[in-house]
């Protein structure tokens, strides 16, 4: 089921976390933060919205790292109900696609709840002070990739954050598959 993320709450502080990564290490927010800002993405393996833009996410992560932006991806889906989003499958996807960022597993879903993540993909762009400056989409893609010449909205916003500490006033919310929450 498609879900749309809320608009950016400028200045909201990034919650900390400590989660296992597909490479066997543990990461905190401080471990992944870049000197110019941090991009925290909620993604998963099975979502067609993520699959449609995974190559662009990887491209943008590499380009953002060059600007001093730290990048991390977190999967919070219920792996019992969606085994294709389980840790072993995450590890395979990260290796196959050679993720240039840590891919973390939020088994308890506490981090997704702390961030109020809504969908996959859901992008949270923070400045160097850990203040939210971007909560928008990657680009005009939906379940299908946008044209190759589509405006790189996420990249442009994060570049602006790296340069000025502030995100763009106008942002288009992300849309994707809803987070697959565990039964209460």
Q: What count of Cα atoms within 13 Å lies in the side-chain half-sphere of residue 97?
A: 23
Query: Is the predicted pLDDT of residue 63 greater than 70, yes or no?
Result: yes
Tokens 């400056």: give the residue: 133
If one counts every other C-beta atom within 10 angstroms of the C-beta of residue 38, the result is 24
Could you give the C-alpha distances from 84 to 19, 111, 174, 178, in angstroms and in order? 19, 20, 22, 15
Query: Dihedral sign, CA of 128, 61, 2, 74?
Result: negative
DSSP string, 5-30: PPPP-TTPBPPP-EEEBTTS-EEEHH
pLDDT tens, residue by residue, 112-145? 999 999 999 999 999 999 999 999 999 999 889 8
Measured between alpha carbons, how far is residue 67 from residues 36, 62, 64, 102, 143 in Å?
A: 7, 9, 5, 17, 28
* pLDDT, average across residues 149-169: 97
CA distance 83 to 79: 5
> pLDDT at position 9, please?
94
Note the pTM of the prediction, 2 decimals: 0.97
Say yes or no to pLDDT of 1 above 70: no
User: Would you say 164 and 102 are in contact if contact means Cβ atoms under 8 Å apart?
Assistant: no
pLDDT in tens, 9-24: 999 999 999 999 999 9
Kindly state the greatest CA–CA separation across the chain: 43
| C-alpha atoms less than 13 angstroms from C-alpha of 73 in its C-beta half-sphere | 26
Residue 145's pLDDT is 87
| pLDDT at site 184 | 74
Residues 151, 152, 156: CA angle, nearest 5 degrees = 115
Number of Cα atoms under 13 Å in the Cβ half of residue 136: 20
Question: Please, are residues 63 and 155 in contact by the beta-carbon 8 Å criterion?
Answer: yes
* Domains delineated in the chain: 2-13+34-178 (3.40.30.10)
């Amino acid at each position: 089921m498609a879900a749309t993320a809320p608009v950016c709450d400028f200045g909201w502080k990034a919650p900390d976390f400590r989660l296992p990564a597909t490479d066997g290490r543990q990461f905190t927010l401080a471990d992944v933060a870049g000197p110019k800002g941090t991009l925290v993405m909620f993604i998963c393996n099975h979502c067609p919205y993520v699959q449609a833009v995974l190559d662009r996410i990887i491209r943008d992560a590499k380009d953002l790292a060059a600007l001093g932006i730290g990048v991390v991806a977190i999967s919070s889906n219920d792996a019992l109900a969606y085994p294709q989003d389980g840790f072993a499958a995450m590890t395979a996807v990260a290796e196959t696609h050679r993720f240039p960022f840590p891919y973390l597993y939020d088994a308890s879903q506490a981090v997704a709840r702390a961030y109020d993540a809504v969908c996959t993909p859901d992008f949270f762009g923070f400045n160097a002070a850990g203040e939210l400056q971007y909560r928008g989409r990657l680009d005009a893609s939906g379940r299908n990739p946008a044209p190759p010449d589509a405006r790189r909205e996420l990249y442009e916003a994060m570049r602006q954050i790296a340069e000025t500490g502030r995100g763009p006033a106008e942002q288009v919310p992300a849309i994707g598959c809803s987070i697959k929450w565990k039964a209460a």
